[in-house]
Amino acid sequence: MHTARPLVGLPADTMEKEGLPFHILGDKYAVAVADVSRCHPLLIPSLGDVDALRDLVSALDGLVITGSPANVHPSLFGAEPTAAHEPYDHSRDATTLPLIELAIEQAIPLFCICRGHQELNVVMGGTVATEIQDQPGREDHRGHLSDVNLRYLPAHSITITPGGVLHQILGTTETKVNTVHRQAIDRLADGLTVEAAAADGTVEAVSIDAARDFALSVQWHPEYKAAQYPDSVKLFEAFGDAARARHARRTGQTGEPALRAAGV
């Protein structure tokens, strides 16, 4: 029996080229969702229409809030804008923050990555620190900026909270992750639990205390060549399984997890 794959939304960044606006999504996110989570990726234009987003989210089986070259506008977490906070994507802010709220409200499986990690903290009432490499005692988390082939290689270790959500997925209390960011969670929002941290205290992963379904957020980029890294496979498979479970509840269809387990 054919079983339709779950539908996973991924919000777009916006950019302008030759005077025309575009909505774009990094290929690595779509590939990770399609090939490792075994779900259908759906690009969500960043139009900021909350009513339309509410209708859309109810038809989704999962939501991945991606990383981005842009940063959350500081006014959204009570800070004054400076050059250190740039660049911005106001259209994305107006879309992803409501999307996260709706996903939590409707118990949609939620996986936040990099900018998405910081966005989740902002939505929940936390703040973001910028240029963390300039702060005393902090490491440089920007990674190898000039060579894309080196940029996403594992760069530093993280310590994982024993017994936590991430520990249950990865089965270890320490692993090594890539690092491609200059901002990070500053004040952790109430309602979030730290799932992993770097040696310098950078919050590398969090979960939502009151989550009724999969809800995990990471600062690194597990989507990069996800199928090649065992930890990334575990993360995207766990998210995909949660999306399949929602899809089964939503549509009454079953069978996909068994097919994947059998290697089909």
Is residue 223 annotated as part of the catalytic site, yes or no? yes
CA dist 34 and 131 (Å) reads 33
Is residue 181 annotated as part of the catalytic site, yes or no? no
Q: Is the dihedral of CA 142, 147, 150, 152 positive or negative?
A: positive
Residue among 114, 181, 195, 247 flagged as catalytic: 114
Residue 227 contacts residue 233 (beta carbons within 8 Å): yes
Read off the amino acid at residue 77.
Answer: F
Tokens 């969702």, residue located: 33
Read off the amino acid at residue 165.
Answer: V
CA dist 237 and 205 (Å) reads 17
Q: How is residue 73 written in tokens?
A: 């506008």
Angle, vertex CA 70, rays to CA 69 and CA 75, nearest 5: 160
CA dist 27 and 33 (Å) reads 10
Residues whose CB is less than 8 angstroms from the CB of residue 140 and which lie 6 or more positions away in sequence, other chains included: 133
CA distances in angstroms from 263 to 38, 40, 257, 258, listed in the order given: 12, 18, 10, 9
Residue among 119, 195, 223, 256 flagged as catalytic: 223
CA dist 242 and 264 (Å) reads 19
Q: How is residue 56 written in tokens?
A: 């859309």
Read off the amino acid at residue 24.
Answer: I
Is residue 112 annotated as part of the catalytic site, yes or no? no
Residue among 85, 221, 247, 256 flagged as catalytic: 221
Residues involved in catalysis? 114, 221, 223
